[in-house]
Structure 1
Amino acid sequence: MTPQENVDLSGRVAVVTGAASGIGRASALMFAAAGAAVVCCDKAEGVEATAEAIRTAGGRAAARVMDAGHEPDVAAAMEAAEAEFGGLDVVFANAGITGGVREFLDAGPEVWAEVLRVNLIGPYLAIRHAGPRMAARGGGSIIMTASVAGIRANAGPASYSASKAGVVNLAQTAAQAFSGTGVRVNCICPGLIETEMTRPIYDYAKAMGTEVPIGMSNPLKRGGVPDEIATAALFLASPLSSYVNGHALVVDGGLSSSHPWTGARPFSAARGGEAKAAE
C-alpha cells in the first residue's frame, strides 16, 4: 500500500512550489494521488509536465511558471488556487536554491541576497498570501522545506545554511502568529536527497569513483530519494498531523542525531572491548 492510499486529501486544494522536479514534483504527484487538486508552480517550464502527469492519472492540476521569491507571482498562485479549484487548504513552499558551493568568505552579498530571497523570503511570501485565506476557511496547512543544514554546520554553503535556519524559525514564529486560526505551519529538514539540486554532488562522486560512500555518514548508510520527503509533506498536509504545529520535521536518515565522529563508532568500540575482555 502506498502512502497516499492511507491519506485522504479529497476536496482539498494544494499549491506546491518547485514542482518541476525533485521533492516538489514527487510531493505534487503524491498530493494528487491522495485526492487533492494541485497548483504546480516552478520557475522551470517543465512544471507543466508535472501537472500533465497528474491529469493523465485522473487527477486535477494546473501549472504556473513563477518565481517563488517574487511577491506578485506568489500572490497570483494563491489566487489561482481559489479561482480554478475553489479554495486553498495546503501550501508546500518547497522551491529553493543552493547559491553554489563556495568557501565561507567567497560568497558576496549578491549571492546571499539571492539565496535569502528565494529560500527564506519566498516561504514568508507563501505564508503572507496563503495564511489569511486559510484562516478565513477555518484552517489549513503550510509546509516549508528547510534542511539539516539549517540545524548544524557543514551540510551546505553558508548562505544556504543560514537561509534554512531562518525557515526553521519562520515555522515557529508563523505558527504563533496564526494562533487560534486553525492554520498550522511546519517545515521539513531533509538530509542528502538525490535531486536536480544535489546532482553536482552525485556527479562528482561518480567521476571520482566514490558513488557508494554518498550518504554513508548517516546511520542508514545511504542518501534519500524525493518520495521519502514527499511522504513527510503528505503527512503534514493531512489530518494525520492535526496536532503538529511550529515543528521542524527532520528526515535525514539519522544524520543530525549525532555530532560528527572521526574515530570508531561507539557500538563498534564497545564490541571490540568486549571481545578483548573475553580473550
Structure 2
Amino acid sequence: MSAAGSAPRRFEGRGVLVTGAASGIGRAAALLFAAEGARVMALDRDAGVAATADAILARGGDAEAVVADAASEPDVRGAVEAAEAKFGALDAVFANAGISGGMAGLFDQTAEDFAAVLRVNLLGPFLALKHAGPRMAARGRGAVVCTASVAGLRAGAGGPAYSASKAGVVSLVQVAAQQLAGTGVRVNAVCPGLVETGMTRFVFDGARERGKEHKLGSLSALRRPGLPDEIARAVLFLASDEASYVTGQALAVDGGLSAQHPFGRPREPGQTTM
C-alpha cells in the first residue's frame, strides 16, 4: 500500500499480464507495474522470466512467472484464465513479446522466416486481445497495450517481416479499439525507436566492436537510443486511468526519429546490406 500522505499508486491491487517479460521492455514494464501496486503475471517462453518475478517479490510486490508461448492460443488462454483466478480480475495486458527475424532483405527472406516473425509479433497480440478483451468488456473496464515499433509506421527502421508485423499491430489495435467501443476497454500501441534489449543487442554490440557506439540513435532528434524504462513508462501511462480518453492510438516513443525520414537511398533489388 502507499505510505500515508503519499500519492496513491496507479495500479494498486490490479491484475496485470505482461508477455515477453523475461528481459528488455517487458521486464522493465513488469517491474514498474509492480512498483505502482499491480499484481503481475510475467509470461515468457524464456525460463529467465522467473528472475523478473523474483525481483518483484524481493521488493515486496506480488508476481508470478509463467513459462509459456505468447503466440500459442492454449498458452495465452490459460495465462488469461490463470491471471483472473489468481488476481480476481485482469485489469491490463501488455502484449509485448516479439522477435526481430534478422535483417535479411525482402528478396532473401524465406517464407518460413517471414511467417515465424508474424506469428510472434502479430498473432501474439491478436491472441491477447481475443482472450482478454471479452473478459474485460464483461467487467466494463480494462486496457490492452501492444508493442508495435517505429518500423511499423514507415519503411527503413527494420527488416521486411519485422516492419510488416509491427504495421499489422498498429492496424490491429485500431480495429480492436473500434470492436470494443462502448465496453470501457481501451486498446493502444506503443512504438519504440532504437532501444537496447535482447532483441537489438547485436546492433549495439556490433557498433561497440567497430568503435561506432556514439552513432547509435544519432538519427533521432535526441541523438541517442532509448532505455527500456523509458518505453515502459509510456506503456504504464497508456494502461492507466490517466489515459482514460486514449484508445486506438500508436504512440511513438523514439526520441523524435519518426518525426522525419532519416533514411538513405533505396536499395537495388537483390541488395541485402542494411
2:24 partner amino acid:
G
Q: State how far apart, in whole Å, the 2-side matches of 1:89 and 1:72 are.
A: 20
2:227 aligns with one of 225, 231, 235: 225
Q: Which secondary structure state, in structure 1, belongs to the residue aligned with residue 119 of structure 2?
A: helix
Corresponding residue of 1:92: 94
Partner SS state of residue 63, structure 1 = strand
Alignment of 1:138-153 (within 5 A): 138-153=140-155
Deviation string for 1:233-276 (max 9, x for gaps)? 110111000000000000000001012277xxxxxxxxxxxxxx
Tell me if the contact between 1:7 and 1:238 (Cα under 8 Å) persists in the aligned partners: no
3-state DSSP of counterpart to 1:245? coil
Distance of 1:7 and 1:168 partners within structure 2: 29
Aligned residues of 1:235 and 1:241 also touching (Cα < 8 A): yes
CA contact (8 A) 2:156 2:263 kept: no
| Secondary structure, counterpart of 1:159 in structure 2 | helix
Aligned counterpart in structure 1 of residue 23 of structure 2, from 9, 15, 21 = 21
Q: Distance in 1 between matches of 2:182 and 2:44?
A: 32
Aligned partners of 1:222, 1:168: CA distance in 2, in Å? 24
Q: Secondary structure at the match of 1:224?
A: coil
Q: Which amino acid aligns with 1:255?
A: L
Which residue does 1:239 correspond to in 2? 241
What count of residue pairs does the alignment treat as equivalent?
258
Match of 1:272 in 2: none
d(CA) in 2 for partners of 1:9, 1:51: 17
- Structure number with larger C-alpha Rg: 1
1:193 partner letter? V
Q: Could you tell me how far 1:104 is from its partner in structure 2? A: 1.8
Root-mean-square deviation (CA, aligned residues, Å) is 1.1
Secondary structure of 2:199's partner?
coil
Query: What are the within-5 Å matches in structure 2 for residues 166-245 of structure 1?
Result: 166-245=168-247
Query: Aligned with 1:212: secondary structure?
Result: helix
What letter matches 1:190 in structure 2?
Answer: P
Partner of 1:12: 14
Structure 2 counterpart of 1:130: 132
The CA deviation string for residues 214-238 of structure 1, in whole angstroms up to 9 with x for no partner, is: 0000110000010000000110111
Whether the 8 Å contact between 1:172 and 1:247 is mirrored in structure 2 is yes
Deviation at 1:207, TM superposition (A): 1.0
Match of 1:110 in 2: 112
AA in 2 matched with 1:158? P
Q: 1:125-176: CA deviations, max 9, x gaps?
A: 0000000110111110000000000011110100000000000000100000
Tell me, what secondary structure is at the counterpart of 2:213? coil
Q: Is the 8 A contact 2:148 2:192 kept in 1?
A: yes
In structure 1, runs of 5+ residues without a counterpart are: 263-279
CA distance in 2, matches of 1:159, 1:75: 26
| 1:120 maps to which of 114, 122, 145 | 122
In 2: Cα distance, 1:206 partner to 1:104 partner = 27
Percent of pairs with identical residues: 60
Name the SS for the 2:215 alignment partner. Answer: coil
* Structure 1 outlier segments of 4+, above 3 Å: none
Cα pair distance change 1:7/1:231, threshold 3 Å: farther
CA distance in 1 between counterparts of 2:78 and 2:58 reads 25
2:72 corresponds, among 67, 70, 73, to: 70
User: Aligned pair 1:257/2:241, yes or no?
Assistant: no
Quick one: distance in 2 between partners of 1:54 and 1:85? 16
Contact 2:175 2:248 (C-alpha < 8 Å) held by counterparts:
yes
Counterpart of 1:106 in structure 2: which amino acid?
A: D
